[in-house]
Amino acid sequence: MYRLLFLFSIVLISWGGHSTYKGVPKHYHSLLDSAMVRAGDNASELLKALEETEKSRKEGMAFLISFMPERDLTSLTADFLLENVEYAYLARDQYPWCAALPDSIFFNEVLPYANITETRDPWRKDFYERFSKYVKDKDHIIDAIFAIADTIKDEVQVEYNTKRSKVDSSPKEAMAEHMATCTGLSILLSDAFRSVGIPSRLAGTAMWTNFKGNHTWSEVWVDEKWQFIEYYPDSLNKSWFLADAGKADPKNPLHWIYAVSYKPTGQYYYAGVSTMHLVEQLDLNLFPEAFRSRYERMKQFAKENPEEPYVWGHNVTQRYMDLYRSSLENTRLAGDEIMANFVVFENEESQGSGSRVSCRIDIMQGDKNIDFGYSPRTTDDMNDFLKMRLKKGSSYRVKVSNPELQIEREYPIDTGTEDSQEFKLYLNK
């Protein structure tokens, strides 16, 4: 009882703007005062977290509380925050790549307990225990990154699937369903990285410039710069979506590439489930007519269901445009070439992720095999296609085969004159 009265008295003092927070740098004090007021009845939990945090870790706790969104200020418990901070600092003490980080990166991209809008699960201790074994013998952060990325799928038993119950699945939710979208997979991956002291954040776009959809992925801080990586990893700064990201429109926020920040930036993160807030601000008259009605409905829904955004971000569009241009320096399309995009579905009626069939695709012209590859799997992102360079204005035969499924089909195709063309191949035709 005495303890509760003591904590309540501190809250009252804080609200009066005269508080002191022992062991916390002074530049946080006014921020903490504001946080305590907005926390309301939950202020005692936040004060308890500050009070019980070890001296060397108090600034980290102060950072989290100072920039915490209101949904968390009013709901998170001291025990939740204390465990998160304890294990984040344990990683900082244990791993050389984390110990070497500037405080600004550690606070903003290792210490946070969440990425975007997901349920606030206490994942930190569990993930530290799961993933520390994969990096225990690693000396360099890149080796640690791929030790996590190459094993996470088997460790958490989660695959890409659009049948998941939520777009922004938390780690607990994704592992319970054994499935997640690109957003849920990226949350899993970034949390796994953070659990062993690797700075990580989500990045994504609300909509590609070709209006094929959106996407979310992870970034990691390596050699003092951000680089991207996926749940199904390739190498750093290399993935199927780079071409789409590189064609982002810097003049249209709908097509920007955003990266998440825990600390306020003055710019919201408009991707994934946060897209609705962006749609409210768009001039739909500037949209292609074929897509206008869809966004009109989204805009009306947002108007009828107002919700204040609270996930901060950075506009990193130019970096991805630069990366794409760099990747094309030695692989630029010739004037007579087209980029052909292939995907195989079971039937024309169902085009969800589960309807895709991974097959070998051989491009034939007469008796000559022009190229071959493998179409996307059910676990690949829905925006992923097998890409091949073909000649404009040409006719080909496409051989589709999967011996295990006893699939062997042929399709005639004709390429047009545009730089890219999509080919959806249906096995029931």
- Could you report the average pLDDT of every consecutive run of 10 residues in the chain (429 residues)? 46 50 95 97 98 97 98 98 98 98 98 98 98 96 98 97 93 97 97 98 93 93 97 94 88 92 96 82 80 86 86 96 78 89 90 84 92 84 86 97 89 95 92
Element (H, E) at 222: strand 215-222
pLDDT at 13: 47
All residues at 6 or more sequence positions from 99 whose CB lies less than 8 Å from its CB, including other chains: 92, 93, 197
Paired tokens of 338: 């087209």
- Helices 29-39 & 58-66 angle (0-180, nearest 10): 50
pLDDT at 14: 47
pLDDT at 129: 98
Contact present, 74 and 51 (Cβ < 8 Å): no
Phi, psi of 201 (to 5 degrees): -155, 160
pLDDT at 15: 47
The CA-atom distances, in angstroms, between 145 and each of 132, 180, 230 are 12, 21, 11
- Per the DSSP assignment, residues forming a β-bridge with 340 are 388, 421
Nearest to 361 by CA among 414, 415, 423: 423
Amino acid at 400: V
Paired tokens of 87: 């294990």
Half-sphere exposure of 11 (CA within 13 A, CB side): 20
Task: State the Cα–Cα distance between residues 401 and 374, nearest whole angstrom.
Answer: 9
pLDDT at 177: 97
Domains, the chain, ordered by start: 114-326 (3.10.620.30), 337-426 (2.60.40.1120)
* Number of neighbours of residue 418 by Cβ within 10 angstroms: 9
